[in-house]
Amino acid sequence: MINNAIESLRSHGGTLFRNTLVGEEAMDPATMASADDHGLFGPDSVTWKINGDIAILVGGLRSLIYQTLHPLAMAGVAEHSDYLNDPFGRLQRTSQFVGGTTFGNTAHAERLIATVRRVHNRVQGTAPDGRPYSANDPRLLLWVHAVEVDSFLDSYRRYSLEPLEDWEADAYVAEMSVVARRLGAQDLPLSVAELDSTLQSFRPEMDASQQARDAWKFLFSPPLPILARAPYGVIVAAAVTSLPDWILKDLNIKIPRGIEPLAVRPAAIALTKGLGWLLTGVGSTETLEDRMS
């Protein structure tokens, strides 16, 4: 009886968490990668390994915080996104894009990319500093891509219990360029060293604008149900403490020495493993492993 109660809690909790993350509709089996069509990556890719790990939840938030520091990218979000009124909708669309381009078949991934490109066509305007911006600007696309890849890679290394070799990290950077190139980004990094160099090249363009500060306030304390606030607080702490020191200075956040390895990291690992356990309790008629066999 106790086991049944635990499994019921696991199933309901997992379903609630999955629906919050990706929406009520799971990926249609017809759009998933299969033995005949591995999609853009496939089961032997490092991308499947990293993007399939629940630890990238932390990377997703880290990426959002990091990306706000480019004034033109932030202007596009502030002026063309409804994230303040529909934060979960934005989260779900982003999760569906990452999941679909990673684990979907080729046609599904290409459809998602085409949809984003159409949306980008409408995202243009003038930033508060007077400069024009466009979501199709290859430089801005490179910025968003580089920060996302760096954040996913960092969160995996910190908060996943699975090891990652240096060659796998380089392979991940190279593999992830496939989607960014289709979106229109150029001069893409193909190794960790090139990724680091790319991010450094953006340093002169960074600025903690008022739009960025408004976004930080929202990201640090969004409207969440009471039961979700403590887990989200752990994710925020993990995302923030993993940011480069110069960003923490812009955020005016001082991290006590030792708090990340001694407190934040253990809490984040425990949380992500617990969320992973919940998700494995969500029923599925056909898994990716089934389709690859």
User: In this predicted structure, what is the pLDDT of residue 281?
Assistant: 47
Question: Tens digits of per-residue pLDDT, 160-213?
Answer: 989 999 999 999 999 999 999 999 999 999 999 999 999 999 999 999 899 999
Tokens standing for 228? 């979700």
209: closest CA among 69, 62, 33? Answer: 69
Percentage of the chain beyond pLDDT 90 is 52
Give CA–CA dist 252/222, Å, rounded.
19
User: In this predicted structure, what is the pLDDT of residue 22?
Assistant: 46
User: Is 24 part of a structural domain of the chain?
Assistant: no
Q: Provide the 3-class DSSP secondary structure of residue 125.
A: strand
User: In this predicted structure, what is the pLDDT of residue 277?
Assistant: 63
User: Is 48 part of a structural domain of the chain?
Assistant: yes
Among 8-22, 48-62, 166-180, whose mean pLDDT is lowest?
A: 8-22
pLDDT band (50, 70, 90) for residue 108 = very high
User: Is 92 part of a structural domain of the chain?
Assistant: yes
Give CA–CA dist 81/126, Å, rounded.
15
User: Is 27 part of a structural domain of the chain?
Assistant: no
- The answer to whether residue 92 scores a pLDDT higher than 50 is yes
Tokens standing for 207? 């600025």
User: Is 198 part of a structural domain of the chain?
Assistant: yes
Give CA–CA dist 142/208, Å, rounded.
19
Is the backbone of residue 252 left (phi > 0), alpha (psi -120 to 50) or beta? left
Among 83-97, 183-197, 241-255, 267-281, whose mean pLDDT is lowest?
A: 83-97
User: Is 23 part of a structural domain of the chain?
Assistant: no
Could you give the number of structural domains in the chain?
Answer: 1
User: Is 125 part of a structural domain of the chain?
Assistant: yes
Percentage of the chain beyond pLDDT 70 is 83
Give CA–CA dist 179/184, Å, rounded.
9
pTM here is 0.88
pLDDT band (50, 70, 90) for residue 86 = low
Among 41-45, 202-206, 280-284, whose mean pLDDT is lowest?
A: 280-284
Among 5-19, 23-37, 190-204, whose mean pLDDT is lowest?
A: 5-19
**Radius of gyration for the alpha carbons in the chain, expressed in angstroms and rounded:** 19
User: In this predicted structure, what is the pLDDT of residue 223?
Assistant: 83
User: In this predicted structure, what is the pLDDT of residue 165?
Assistant: 97
Question: Tens digits of per-residue pLDDT, 122-155?
Answer: 999 999 999 999 999 999 999 999 999 999 999 9
User: Is 234 part of a structural domain of the chain?
Assistant: yes
User: What is the residue range of 262's domain?
Assistant: 2-18+35-292
185 contacts 113 by C-beta, under 8 angstroms: no
Is the backbone of residue 184 left (phi > 0), alpha (psi -120 to 50) or beta? left
248 class by beta-carbon count within 10 Å (0-12 exposed, 13-18 middle, 19+ buried): middle
Question: Tens digits of per-residue pLDDT, 228-264?
Answer: 788 888 999 999 999 998 888 888 888 888 888 889 9
